């Protein structure tokens, strides 16, 4: 299972795990968009709480790097 972050209809980021890549068919009712897969849980949880409207966290790699540095 890999970690992803989804954008809900209320414009809130939510980290979740999925066995397969999220698609509109499988996760479209829950999320407007999804980002991932993340390498670590730490990166996904950091993105969930800090990545919305953050110009320094535009990619998964940037979120992973910042999360590791913040540890």
Percent of the chain with pLDDT over 90: 97
Other Cβ atoms less than 10 A from the Cβ of 16: the count is: 18
Taking all residues of the chain, what is their mean pLDDT, rounded to a whole number?
Answer: 95
pTM reported for the whole predicted model: 0.92
Of 11, 2, 10, the C-alpha closest to 43 is 2
46 pLDDT band (50/70/90 cuts)?
very high
Q: How many domains does the chain have?
A: 1
> What CA–CA distance (Å, rounded) separates 8 from 65?
24
Tell whether the model's pLDDT for residue 71 goes beyond 90.
no
48 pLDDT band (50/70/90 cuts)?
very high
**Mean pLDDT, residues 24-42 taken together:** 95
Other Cβ atoms less than 10 A from the Cβ of 53: the count is: 7
- The per-residue pLDDT for 66 is 96
| Straight-line distance from the first to the last Cα atom of the chain, in angstroms, rounded to the nearest whole number | 23
Q: Domain of 58?
A: 2-70
């Amino acid at each position: 299972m890999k970690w992803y972050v989804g954008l809900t209809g209320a414009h809130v980021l939510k980290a979740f795990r999925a066995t397969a890549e999220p698609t509109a068919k499988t996760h479209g009712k829950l999320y407007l968009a999804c980002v991932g897969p993340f390498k670590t849980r730490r990166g996904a949880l950091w993105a969930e709480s800090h990545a919305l409207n953050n110009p320094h966290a535009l990619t998964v790699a940037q979120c992973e790097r910042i999360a590791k540095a913040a540890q």
